[in-house]
Each structure stands twice: as C-alpha cells, then as structure tokens.
Structure 1
C-alpha cells in the first residue's frame, strides 16, 4: 500500500532527479527535501544502508549546491568527463565497499537484503560525487543503481518507489546523452 510518506518522498526526489538531468541548480534543494522524507521511509522498511545514504545525500546536496553555483574562480562549474584512471579503480573499490558494509549490516542488524542495499548505497555515493563535480559519467552509475534498486524496492512493497526508479533509469540514459552533448559544446 502506497502511503503519503512514500508519495511525498518520491515527489521531492523526482523533482531533484529531473532537475539534475536538465542541469538545473534547483536539483539540490529539492533533493534535500526528498532525501529527508526517504530517510524515514527507508528506516521503516529496514533498508538501513538507504537511510545512511539519505544522510549522505543531504550533506552532499548542500556541498553540490555551493559547487554548482560557485564553480572554479567564481564561474559556474562546467560539465566535463571524468578521467579514465579515476574510473578504473572506482568499480572494484565500490564492490569491495558494498561487500564490507553489507557484511556489517548482515551480522549486526535485521536489515533486509543487506548486500544489495549496500550496493545501492555505495554506487549512489559514487554517482553523487561525480554529479557534484558535473562529470558526465555520473549517469552511467545512476543507471547501475537504478537497475539494482528497482527490484529491491519492489521486494519491500515500495511499488511507487520501484516504478519511479524504473523511470529514473530512463531519465539517466536521456540525461547521459544530454550531458555528453553539453560537454562537447563546452569544450
């Protein structure tokens, strides 16, 4: 059953995600609202890694907001590509971090699907850090996160959230293509 909390959290998150894809600075404050609501929803659903993730998103949204507005030397931060060397170590490090955090949740909490939930956490952090730096490749990580998150949320009865994450998957593809174009124009 879809509750008011799930609806409100998804409205805030959807606004933020669509605004990020459109390269709007308003992504950050709308994201803060959605994340605060999601933290309560995920706690109730025993998705503890996702609760921690919402805390990270709130803090990183404040930082991202400042970075996007100020950028370097007072001008807006440009969209660019991440360095290949940086990306080469991110995936194995992310898998290791997800396994370690998943093991902690498995042994010390009553978390539901701790390893899958931890993968959503870790790769969302990676994607968010790249988004904060306006790196085109953030969208590839969002595609990965959404691919894992949809069945996870559906398995907890969060059907609206699962449906919207499926929509976010499509948004990530469209946004990736759009940001690639913007990066070429800015180069």
Structure 2
C-alpha cells in the first residue's frame, strides 16, 4: 500500500531529479527534503544502505547547492565531460565497494538484498559526485542505478517509488542528451 510518506518523498525527489536534468540550482534544496523523507521510508523497509545513501545525499545536496551557485572561482560551474582515466577506475572501485559494503550488511544486519542495495548506494554516490561537478557522465551512472533500483524497490512493495525510478531512468537518458548538447555549446 502506498502511504503518505512514500508519496511525499517521491514528490521531493521527483522535483529534484527533473530540476537536475534541466540544469536548475533548485535541484538541491528539493532533493534535501525528498532525501530526508526517503531516509525514514527506507529505514522502515530495512533498506539500510539506502538510509545511509540519503544521509550522503543530504550533505552532498548542501555542497552541490553551493558549488552550482558559486562555481570554483565565483562564476557558475560549467558542464564538462569527466576524464576517461577517472571513469576507468571508478567502475571497478564501485564494484569492489558494493561487494564490501554488501558483505558488511549481509553478515551484520537483517538488511534485505544487501549486495543489490549496496550497488545502489555506491553507484548513486559516484553519480552524485559527478553531478555536483556538472560532469555529463553522471547521467550514465544514474541510468545504471535506476536499472537496479526499480526491481529492488518493487520487491519491497514500494511500487510508487519503483514506478518513479523507472521514470527517472527515462529522465536520465533525456538529461544525458541535453547535457551533452550543453557541454558542446560551452566548449
């Protein structure tokens, strides 16, 4: 059953994600609100890696808000591409971190799907860090995260959340194309 907490969390997160795809600074404060609500929802669903992730999103949301407003040297942070060398180490490091955190959750908690939940956590952090630096490739990682999160959330009965993450998957594709164009125009 979809409850008011799940609805409210998804409204905040949806606003955040749509605004991020449109390159709006308002993505950050709407995300902070949505993440706080999701932290409670995921705790109730025993998705503990996702609870930790929401804490990360709240902190990174505040930092991202400042970075997008001020940039590195007082001007707006431009949309650029991540270096290939950076991307080459991020994926194997993310897989290793997912396995390690998943093992911790498996052996020390009653977490549901600890390894899958950990992959959502780790690659969401990667995507968020790239988003904070306005790197085009953040959207590829969001596509990966959403591809894993949709069945995970559906398996816990979080059907509205699963549906919206499927919508976020589409948004990530559209946003990736949009940001690529913005990066070309800026170059």
Global fold match (TM > 0.5) = yes
Can you list the C-alpha shifts for 1:34-90, whole angstroms capped at 9, x where unaligned? 000000000000000000000000000000000000002210000000000000000
SS in 2 for 1:135: coil
Which stretches in structure 1 are left out of the alignment for 5+ residues? none
2:40 corresponds to 1:40: yes
TM-score between the two structures when normalised by the length of structure 2: 1.00
What pairs up with 1:1-187 in 2 under 5 angstroms?
A: 1-187=1-187
Does the residue aligned with 1:110 lie in a helix, a strand or coil?
A: coil
Cα RMSD between the aligned structures? 0.3
* Distance (Å, rounded) in 2 between the aligned partners of 1:170 and 1:41: 24
SS in 1 for 2:134: coil
> Equivalents in 1 of 2:27, 2:181: separation in Å?
20
Alpha-carbon distance between aligned partners in 1 of 2:141 and 2:74, rounded to the nearest angstrom: 28
Dislocated runs of 4+, deviation >3 Å: none
Name the TM-score, length of structure 1 as normaliser: 1.00
- Runs of 5+ unmatched residues, structure 2: none
- Report the count of equivalent residues: 187
